[in-house]
Structure formats: structure tokens, C-alpha cells
């Protein structure tokens, strides 16, 4: 397992082409994500500013490491169209050692293999 820990970060965005793909490419090009899955559309029901909302969104499932989280979050906050975007980092407690080593290699600062 990687020494500082892997994370799965969830972030929903409103559209596939306009937002999801652009944000995914930016995270990968910056080296802060090893992989970004674009899932959806998903249906999101939530309360916002006193009203119930029902929207179609794309769910980004981002694989990274703890040491790259701050930079990843910064990019999401800068590029995301929502006033308060969903950004949830979930720790990975178990996983394939080969996959986790790959995540580490892909997100090593200063190196893009």
C-alpha cells in the first residue's frame, strides 16, 4: 500500500462535455489525479437555498493521494461552476497493491509518467 494513503474524491458537475471533461483533463494534466471516472448522468435531489432541487449531473470519481488533495481541491474550486461544489474525499483502506502503486506513481509531484 502507498505510504501516505490513497483517496477517492467525489465531485458532481452539471454537464459532461462542458464541465466534467474539462475538469478531468485539468486534474490529470496537473498530475493530481491518476484517474477520473465520469459517471452518469446521475439524478441529484437536494435542498438549496430553501428549495428542493432535482437535477441531472455527472459524478466525477477521482483517484489521488492524500499529499495531492490540497492542490486537487484548489483546482476543483477554481474550475467548478457551482457556488458550493460537492467535494468529498474518502480514504482508501484496502485495495490492490499494484493499483495503489500505480496511483502513487501517477500522482508523484513533478513527475508525469
Give the global pTM.
0.93
pLDDT score of 11? 98
pLDDT score of 109? 87
CA atoms of 34 and 105, how far apart (whole Å)? 8
Please tell me whether residue 61 adopts helix, strand or coil conformation. strand
Q: What is the mean pLDDT of each run of 10 residues along the chain (113 residues)?
A: 79 90 97 97 96 97 97 97 97 96 93 59
pLDDT score of 3? 52
- Nearest to 69, CA basis, from 20, 10, 15, 18: 10
Domain ranges of the chain: 6-106
**Chain-centroid distance, C-alpha 100:** 16
pLDDT score of 22? 96
- Nearest to 34, CA basis, from 1, 69, 74: 69
CA atoms of 12 and 91, how far apart (whole Å)? 18
> For the residues of 85-103, what is the DSSP string, one character each?
---EEEE--S--HHHHHHH
CA atoms of 1 and 98, how far apart (whole Å)? 8
The CATH number of domain 6-106, selected from 3.90.650.10, 3.30.70.120, 1.20.1250.20, 3.40.33.10: 3.30.70.120
Amino acid at each position: 500500500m502507498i505510504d501516505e494513503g490513497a483517496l477517492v474524491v467525489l465531485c458532481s458537475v452539471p454537464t459532461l462535455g462542458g464541465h466534467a471533461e474539462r475538469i478531468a483533463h485539468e486534474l490529470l494534466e496537473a498530475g493530481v489525479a491518476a484517474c477520473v471516472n465520469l459517471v452518469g448522468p446521475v439524478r441529484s435531489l437536494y435542498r438549496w437555498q430553501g428549495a428542493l432541487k432535482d437535477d441531472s449531473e455527472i459524478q466525477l470519481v477521482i483517484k489521488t493521494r492524500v499529499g495531492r488533495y490540497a492542490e486537487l481541491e484548489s483546482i476543483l474550486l477554481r474550475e467548478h461552476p457551482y457556488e458550493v461544489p460537492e467535494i468529498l474525499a474518502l480514504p482508501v483502506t484496502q485495495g490492490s497493491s499494484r493499483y495503489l502503486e500505480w496511483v502513487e506513481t501517477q500522482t508523484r509531484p513533478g513527475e508525469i509518467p
